Amino acid sequence: MLGNDCRFGYDMAAVNLHLSYNFHRKDQNLVSSLAEGQAPPYMIIACCDSRVDPCTVLNLPPGEAFVLRNIGNMVPVYSAQSACSSAASAIEYAVLHLKVKHLVVMGHSRCGAVKALMGIEDDGSNRFSEFIEDWVLILKNASKKVKSIHKVAPFAEQCTACEKEVVNASLWNCLSYPFVREKMASGDLTLHGGYYDFVSNAFESWTLDLSCLNDVDKVQ
């Protein structure tokens, strides 16, 4: 159990000084507004990777984004039986309760989760973990698509392609949630893909094609 003197290896005096000068004193009006509640326009689904904090990448101040981070910025397909899904509950809260206007799935370069996904044999003979593989395999179709299209490419290039394909697959899985489709059909929600290459410092973004919403059954 953590004691009151636990400092996580940080100088707490410096941390509090930073918060005081760079947040509370810098914009007291923002602090007062946030104290009343949150109304972020964005939900961002990003990776846990320590190198790509989404709010830092997108230069978003506190209160602008409701953020879900998991290994590989992955979204599982909707299931009424997924009562314990943190991703599903976060998406539901953001869309129905916070009423965000934009849902962004943000991938990144050198993603370890995607590398793990791409390295899994079709027969599962090279399992290496207790939990990671079961999680990343929710988007196994993304890796299969990339391996089919880029079969002669080097593994590193395949991983880069899959990093972007995972974003697209997660966006399509977002459409499997009925309340997401409803909000998109009414024009109250837009889905976006993003990809940050932190090595070259380049950011790409795109918006999901809405033509599929003419027939809701197509995205189920």
Contacts of 168 (CB under 8 A, 6+ apart): 142, 193
In angstroms, what CA-CA distances link 89 with 82, 98, 113, 202, 216? 9, 12, 22, 31, 22
6 belongs to an annotated ligand binding site: no
The annotation status of 47 as a binding-site residue, yes or no, is yes
The H or E element spanning position 205 is strand 202-207
Beta bridge partners of 203: 196
Cβ atoms of 190 and 184 within 8 Å: the answer is yes
- Please indicate if the annotation marks 27 as binding a ligand: no
Q: Distance between alpha carbon 136 and the CA centroid of its chain, in Å?
A: 13
- Tokens, residue 46: 């990003």
What distances in angstroms separate CA 66 from CA 20, 75, 93, one per listed residue? 23, 15, 10
Does residue 197 have a known ligand-binding role?
no
Going by the annotation, the residues of the binding site are: 47, 49, 108, 111
Going by the annotation, the residues of the binding site for Zn(2+) are: 47, 49, 108, 111
